Amino acid sequence: MNRNRRRLITAAGLAPVAAALPGMAWAQPLFESILMFVPAAPGGGWDGTARAVEQACKAAGLVGSFQFENVGGAAGMVGLPRFVSQRKGQGNAMMVGGSVMVGGGIANKSPVTIKDVVPLARLTEEAGVIVVPANSPYKSWNDLAAAFKADPRAVSVAGGSSGGTDHQLLGMILKTLGKDPRQGAYVAFAGGGPANAAIIGGQVSAGISGYSEFAEQIQAGRMRALAVSGSKRIPGVDVPTLQELGVDVATANWRALFGAPGISAQQRAALIELLTRMHDTPAWKQLLEQRKWTDTFLAGDAFAEFLAKDIAATETVMKDLGLA
């Protein structure tokens, strides 16, 4: 018996054994490798989303390996042009982004915007949370709201990049409280890590971000959560919504994946299939539950239509902030 035939018989004999082993990925992955571009510093919401995609895809054997590139700054507007120019036509490249990037493009008057990449799929939606340091004089939402009403310029609020979702939420809150959104003392950070440090250290009066970015600090007692921005409470989180507290604001931060410009229809379809199959895996469902992310999966043309409407709505809020 020749050596090649012996190998075939051995492999055939191992196949039933491999099939019987739980969690063993025997099938060929859809992609040997994926380049995941994160236009933000490590430690924030986009980076966390990208790492979660890697975890779910590798657990299901959908992708062989991931390569990450982080380029932070200006609500993604520093990294986005690099992705557009350097990854054009690359069918295995994906960029994580979201509602923050829509506002960032408007605020920075960027010649390259989210319109220049290929919408693949919206993955999640996450309510924002308004927090204060553990030793803050603001013990409740009413205390913080009173301070906003007295003088918004005296209440510094940390969040993501200027013009992003966190900044927009502050503007909507101030407008609903009868104040000029432009008077908000917003302090922008390029990543979740620096924002966390500023809040815990008392360098700012309050902070706004997606709940998952502050969850560890809240649970450890280093931050106090006063309100969440969704239309409903976050499951398992005993923090009231702004609407419950009499502030008629309800908004959430969506996150999604985009392909590089210039990819073919077939390449786009392959990436959408990858994300659709990932979405159906037990690993992804477990990650959604652990991180308190709301599953709002929307792929392909349906996501592209949603994106166009979101851009138009964001332009209105940005005008209120004096950023458009």
Greater pLDDT, 201 or 18? 201
Tell me the C-alpha distance between 78 and 110, whole Å. Answer: 9
CATH number of the structural domain 127-252:
3.40.190.10
Q: Where along the chain do the CATH 3.40.190.10 domains lie?
A: 127-252
Cross-strand partners of 113: none
Residues 52-89 pLDDT 10s: 999 999 999 999 999 999 999 888 899 999 999 999 99
Q: Which residues, including other chains, have CB under 8 Å from residue 22's CB and lie 6 or more apart? A: none
Among 265, 291, 267, which residue's Cα sits nearest to residue 124?
A: 291
pTM for this model (two decimals):
0.74
Residues 134-184 pLDDT 10s: 999 999 999 999 999 999 999 999 998 888 889 999 999 999 999 999 999
**pLDDT at 16 exceeding the cut of 80:** no
Q: What is the mean pLDDT of residues 13-17?
A: 34
Residue 15: CB atoms within 10 Å: 10
Indicate left, alpha or beta for 221 from its phi (over 0: left) and psi (-120 to 50: alpha). left
pLDDT band at 45 (very low <50, low <70, confident <90, very high): confident
pLDDT of residue 27: 61
**pLDDT at 253 exceeding the cut of 80:** yes
129-154: buried (b, 16+ CB within 10 Å) or exposed (e) per residue?
Answer: bbbbbeebebeebeebbebbeeebee
pLDDT of residue 56: 98
Q: Where along the chain do the CATH 3.40.190.150 domains lie?
A: 32-125+253-320
10 Å CB burial of residue 178 (0-12, 13-18, 19+) is exposed
Tell me the C-alpha distance between 38 and 241, whole Å. Answer: 30
The mean predicted confidence, pLDDT, of the chain is 89
Range 32-125+253-320 has CATH code 3.20.20.10: no
